[in-house]
Structure 1
Amino acid sequence: MKIHSYRSSNVNPYQKQMDASKQMKVEVQKDRVEISKQAKQLQQTSGFDLQRQEKVQAIKKEIESGTYKIAPDLIAKSMIQFYKKKNEE
């Protein structure tokens, strides 16, 4: 028995339909990007990063030169405020 290639494609005609529908579905889908509210807030706070880096550099210089002085009362006040806010949440 001889099998010709032109007839073998008609063995499963539904496969062609399925392949065509999959290609159509793939073409319809498009990429999209959604930025969360948190990410938007982080983008806005990037200006604070520059100020913070400058402050950190100044403190590093003071530590290296030995002129950095710790203010325990300011540290204590900041800690108290931090924990008060945390308890309120």
Structure 2
Amino acid sequence: MAKPNKKGPTKTVDIFCSGCKAPLFKYRKGGKGALVKCFKERISQDFTSQACICPNCSRPFAREAIIRGAPAYKIIGGKVTFK
């Protein structure tokens, strides 16, 4: 299977916890669709101290997974918002 493009898109989005609105990531997202997964190599800034756990309210927002041979976070539906 093809791996995701390492350089990736240049446009970044800010990802927030939907419960407490704490910032989680700055992510280089491609396309217009919903946020389903975040490839770790495309995260430009990480505000979390523990993987997949919100630093403010301690709720899990994702699960670690291997997608197309690359490590990623699989987002749990409704747990995050992005701008």
Instruction: Confirm or deny a common fold (TM above 0.5).
Output: no
Larger radius of gyration: 1
* Higher strand residue share: 2
**If the length of structure 2 is used for normalisation, what is the TM-score?**
0.19
